[in-house]
Amino acid sequence: MINVVSFNGGRGARNLFTSFLEIEGVHITSIVNAYDDGKSTGNVRNFFRMLGPSDIRKVQEVMVPTSLTDYKQVMHLYNYRYPYSDHDRILSELTAFANGSTNDLTGVVVSDHVILEALRTLVQHLVKGIQLIEKAEGKQLSFEDCSIMNLIYAGAYLFCAGDFEDATIFIDKLFKLRGTVLPTNNEDKKLVAIREDGTILYSEAEIVELRSNSRIKKIYLLDQYPDRKVVAKMSIPEVEQYFEIMNRQVTITSKVERSIRDADIIIYSPGTQHSSLYPSYISKGLTESIVSNKKAFKVFVTNIGEDYETPSYTSEDFINGALRYLRMGTRHTVAPNDLISVALVNNSFSNKELEKYVKFTQAELDKIGCGILVDAFEDPKNPGKHDGKHLATYIMEKYYQQFKQS
């Protein structure tokens, strides 16, 4: 069995790791940070004081095997969002399922008794948690556009005594996933950032959603979201200093550490950098685990198209940015080739009308200090996106070449 570990977000590298799922003899572990706080995920996070399940949910969804007896019903649950926000109605429906008055959950009935009863247990913990928190703290959970799976993850979180990783693994085993998904860490921190022009991004959602041509200068992990009114009275240098002293370093879990140390291939997947990838890279213990695994083939995949987090980035910017944040997670001096065996850079630009391709300068790439492979990785049918099947095959071929050489 070849163990592949991928650092990725919720959707950015989906076509890559789904392609690895189809390769016989390969087991893929997806490592994802859980700082997402947009929309219903933010509501669930704030109410239960937990990490965000949405990106974990998105990756686990594609790992559900089609051979699962209740595959269609489970897919319905993964994709269902309440089209109404009537608090009492939704809570009543969840309560009816929890106490066994009905087997219907958002319009579907699961036939597998083990899955049905496990879901009932999770919803029981969810309902009890909602009722107790609302009564004790005098607040109400908002169900607006809420994903039912976000609520089920919250129930799993309560069932697992507040251990988010255990909740993730519970869902993994329940649906017999084809791969493994692990949260980078178990600590509920808030992701914020500052742009080079001084703009403050007060949440992960703002990092993702607020468009700008100004680059993000640095990300931070805080215990609490900063008070906008207080921060507004501070100068930008003061805000930076404040965020520096309030920044908290989180530590990877033992399961994440073990998966990295046992990996044959480690992939830094494409995707949104500041919200999906850099927050994972700065975790304590991550860089040391990567460096200590001398046998692993470590592949960095540069983005093909720009996004709002990385305006005007070149391929070398993506690689150097990852190295910068990986080095933040350790006090040791780390050479680029200890972290990245080879970086894959796209040179195919099939759609001439698509202006925001990520370009590169070969001379700058050569300065980085790791292997560079420039080739065509774009899906010609989906300009600006990777051809996941070709990319997975390419990585496996290069891995076998290195394996033979060593």
Domain shared by 265 and 401, yes or no: yes
Residue 25 counted as domain residue:
no
Domain-located, residue 343: yes
For residue 200, give its domain range: 190-246
Give dist(CA 3, CA 265) in Å, integer: 6
Residue 39 lies in a domain: no
pLDDT digits (tens, 9 = 90+) for 236-283: 999 999 999 999 999 999 999 999 999 999 999 999 999 999 999 999
> What's the whole-number mean pLDDT along residues 29-46?
95
- pLDDT above 80 for 118: yes
Is 33 a member of any domain?
A: no
Question: Is residue 29 in some structural domain?
Answer: no
pLDDT band at residue 356 using 50, 70 and 90 as cut-offs: confident
Q: Give yes or no for a contact between 62 and 18, defined as CB atoms under 8 angstroms apart.
A: yes
Q: What pLDDT, on a 0 to 100 scale, did the predictor assign at position 385? A: 87
The reported pLDDT for the residue numbered 306 is 82
Which domain CATH number covers 321?
A: 3.40.50.10680
pLDDT digits (tens, 9 = 90+) for 84-97: 999 999 999 999 99
Residue 367 DSSP class: T
Q: What is the pLDDT of residue 143?
A: 96
Residues 367 and 275 in one domain: yes
pLDDT number for residue 352: 61
- In the block, tokens 């213990």 appear at 285
Are residues 232 and 373 located together in one domain of the fold?
no
Cα–Cα dist 214/196, whole Å: 6
Q: What is the pLDDT of residues 119-172, one digit of tens each?
A: 999 999 999 999 999 999 999 999 999 999 999 999 999 999 999 999 999 999
Domain membership flag for residue 35: no
Task: Give the model's pLDDT for residue 94.
Answer: 98
Distance CA 395, CA 390 (A): 9
pLDDT of amino acid 303: 94
pLDDT of residue 166: 98
pLDDT on residue 381 = 85
Question: Looking at the structure, do residues 132 and 201 belong to the same domain, yes or no?
Answer: no
Sign of the torsion formed by the C-alpha atoms of 228, 229, 231 and 232: positive
pLDDT category, 20, cuts 50, 70, 90? very high
So what's the pLDDT on residue 262?
97
- Of 124, 85, 78, the C-alpha closest to 101 is 124
% of the chain surpassing 70 pLDDT: 98
d(CA 314, CA 309): 13
What mean pLDDT is predicted for residues 11-30? 88
- More reliable by pLDDT, 356 or 133: 133
Q: How confident is the model at residue 308 (pLDDT cuts 50, 70, 90)?
A: confident
What single letter denotes the amino acid at residue 49? R
Q: Do residues 345 and 318 touch, judged by C-beta distance below 8 A?
A: no
**pLDDT level of residue 354 (50, 70, 90 thresholds):** low
**CA 113 vs CA 62, 69, 343: distances in Å:** 23, 11, 47
Q: Specify if 234 maps to a domain.
A: yes
Given 246, 268, 288, the domain boundary residue is 246
Please report whether residue 2 resides in a domain.
no
Look over the chain and give the mean of its residue pLDDT values, rounded to a whole number. 94
Tokens standing for residue 314: 């070149």
- The confidence band for 406, taking pLDDT boundaries of 50, 70 and 90, is low
Cα 265 from Cα 283, distance rounded (Å): 20
- Summarised one tens digit per residue, pLDDT across range 161-214 is 999 999 999 999 999 999 999 999 999 999 999 999 999 999 999 999 988 989
Place 31 in a pLDDT band, splitting at 50, 70 and 90: very high
Same-domain status, 279 and 378: yes
